[in-house]
Amino acid sequence: MNAKTISLALGVVVCGGFALLALADVQPDQAAQDQLTPASVLADLKAGNERYQATNLTQHDTAKRREVATGGQFPKAYVLSCVDSRVPVEQVFDQGIGDIFVGRVAGNVENEDQLGSMEYAAAVAGIKLIVVMGHESCGAVKGACDDVKLGNLSALLQKIRPAVRSVDGYQEKSSKDKDFVKKVIQANVKRTVEDMRTRSEVLAGLEADGKIQIVGAYYSLQDGSVTFFD
């Protein structure tokens, strides 16, 4: 399959110089994945989020699961998200079956298991983009702000505490302060991105070679928008 055929099959639309592949519900394959770049995938996710905000989502064919079962997978991105039920990741970016990996853990923190999963996604499965996405009013971040103790959750929240301590005046603040919580959510995302580069030579090397890009983002529960960080 050549580039022209791929464009016709996927209904590629050029937006800002990038090819957006999510506008047609066609199962990804190796040829389509090979055409992607980190920049084009980021543009694709941004365009998908715009459709989500406008409630103009692609009509994805769930029967495509049969093709996935036999044809392998050739996804474009990995999104590390919180477990919050109000953050439907595939819908937020208007992606279908086989398009993206989604890793979920309270507070969207990275651990060895998540890092290993992302290394597989990038080095073996061929993704071009990793997104760490925090979200408005994150319960895990609120718990970390208040230094909550609850079973195994305590250890998880301690992974977020460095982000809490990075915000000026944190000693006098709590989860009741919405502006403080938002600052911690964003700081936690940015720290997670940097921790991934430090803790994973695989991901750092692929990014240095231009094969992948790692970015942070913030999801608004109010309007469904995703803001990507520089």
Predicted confidence pLDDT, tens digits, the chain (230 residues): 333 333 333 334 344 443 344 344 566 789 999 999 999 999 999 999 999 999 999 998 777 677 667 778 999 999 999 999 999 999 999 999 999 999 999 999 999 999 999 999 999 999 999 999 999 999 999 999 999 999 999 999 999 999 999 999 999 999 999 999 999 999 999 999 999 999 999 999 999 999 999 999 999 999 999 999 97
So what's the pLDDT on residue 57? 95
So what's the pLDDT on residue 26? 63
In the DSSP assignment, the letter for residue 107 is: G
Q: Measure Cα distances from 119 to 63, 153, 166, 219 in Å.
A: 29, 25, 28, 24
Q: What is the pTM of this model?
A: 0.88
CA distance 21 to 204: 26
So what's the pLDDT on residue 72? 83
User: Is the CB of residue 109 less than 8 Å from the CB of residue 157?
Assistant: no
So what's the pLDDT on residue 71? 75
CATH assignment at residue 222: 3.40.1050.10
So what's the pLDDT on residue 69? 75
Domain hosting 53: range is 3-228
CA distance 167 to 181: 10
Structural domain count, the chain: 1
Q: Which amino acid is at 54?
A: A
User: Is the CB of residue 71 less than 8 Å from the CB of residue 97?
Assistant: no
